[in-house]
Amino acid sequence: MKRVQHCPQSVAELDEFASEPDRAIVETLSRIDGDLVVAGAGGKMGFHLALMLRRAINELGTGQKVIAISRFGEPRAREPFEAAGIETIAADLCDASIYAGLPDAAAVFFLAGKKFGTSGSPEELRRVNEEMPSLVAGRYAASRIVAMSTGCVYPFVAPGTGGSIESDRPAPLGDYALSCLGRERAFLEASDVHKTPIALIRLNYSVDLRYGVLVDLAAKIVAGEPIDLTMGYFNCLWQGDAVAWTIRAINHACAAPEALVLNVTGSRILSVREVAESLGAQLNYVVNFTGEETETAWISNAARAQRLFGTPRVCENTLIGWVAEWVGLGRPLLGKPTHFEVRDGRY
């Protein structure tokens, strides 16, 4: 894999960099005998993950299918997948009646979930984040599964701790985080019954230049909005690295109770104040702040992932510079803020 030396200059170049498979990805997929399903592929990471799979399979020349499953509410949402040779299936994964018609797969990457707009709707969170994963786990009990989770299942910790590690006891705050722990349990329970190899990915936070914590901060600075310091610290990771680590986790998946749990995030704990000041300097904007740093935050320690996969391809300082350039030049954003500053668990 070539090292990225400059900020992507367009969405097409961003997609290329974020989905470029290295030899480790190709080697990982060489051990998978069968087709690959990306469930919930219509979300923010789905296209890059499916495309990295497709590019790696093309290098192998094995002819395996990469199949993206999502509601694909708009017909055009399927076009980039299909143009890249990724098969698509439009389906609501909450509908139990569709599962008999889904294709078999040797490996499943589960990215589906619900977060925003769920405050006060625990039944919706339960339906999407707990009941639907149970359906997926049951249908693909004979597959290897990597399921996306979140660092929000951990309690807040002080930066001096180095961040939460995988063996820490979960302490979800709010209905969303509680439902995410329920999603993990749904996969683990199915794994315990069917001996399905499982890897659970606790991610926070992925950045692809059009969205992410760094983009949230840069966009607020450009808009002249104050930066709230209450959630004073965070982790983040270039989306290409998050996707690559998620894919490589498939060959470390194990059946419960030995299922792999893995924090996927950057190497450093970042200060909101320091990052905002750096972005402001690079954007040539004055940064205004509000509030004061709370002593704790949702931060994770990714040492285990780095032992398995090595250091991130793109370091945090490079990523901050890329975001400053991308936002400063007015390039496209997704308009989907992370709301990482929320501390009461209500989204």
Percent of the chain, pLDDT > 70? Answer: 97
Q: Could you report the per-residue pLDDT of 199-245, keeping only the tens digit for each?
A: 999 999 999 999 999 999 999 999 999 999 999 999 999 999 999 99
Q: Does the N-terminal peptide bond of residue 257 adopt cis geometry, omega within 30 degrees of 0?
A: yes
Q: Is residue 92 left, alpha or beta, with left meaning phi > 0 and alpha meaning psi from -120 to 50?
A: beta
pTM for this structure?
0.95
- Give the whole-angstrom CA distance, residue 29 versus residue 23: 10
Q: Say whether pLDDT at 181 is over 50.
A: yes
Which pLDDT does position 1 carry in this prediction?
47
Domain that includes residue 174, residue range: 11-211+237-268+299-312
CATH number, domain containing residue 103: 3.40.50.720
Q: Is residue 277 part of a domain?
A: no
For 218, phi and psi rounded to 5 degrees? -65, -40
Q: Is residue 32 part of a domain?
A: yes
- Give the whole-angstrom CA distance, residue 109 versus residue 122: 25
Q: Is residue 64 part of a domain?
A: yes
Q: How many other CB atoms are there within 10 angstroms of residue 5's CB atom?
A: 6
Sheet containing 66-70: give its strands across. Answer: 87-90, 66-70, 36-39, 107-110, 144-150, 198-203, 260-264
Q: Is residue 330 part of a domain?
A: no
Number of domains in the chain: 1
Q: Is residue 339 part of a domain?
A: no
Percent of the chain, pLDDT > 90? Answer: 86
What three-state secondary structure class fits 72? coil
Q: Is residue 278 part of a domain?
A: no
For residues 328 and 175, the model is more confident at 328
Which pLDDT does position 4 carry in this prediction?
57
Q: Would you say 322 and 198 are in contact if contact means Cβ atoms under 8 Å apart?
A: no
Enumerate the H helices of 170-271 as residue ranges.
174-194, 213-222, 239-248
Q: Could you report the per-residue pLDDT of 299-314, keeping only the tens digit for each?
A: 999 999 999 999 999 9
Q: Could you report the per-residue pLDDT of 63-106, keeping only the tens digit for each?
A: 999 999 999 988 799 999 999 999 999 999 999 999 999 999 99
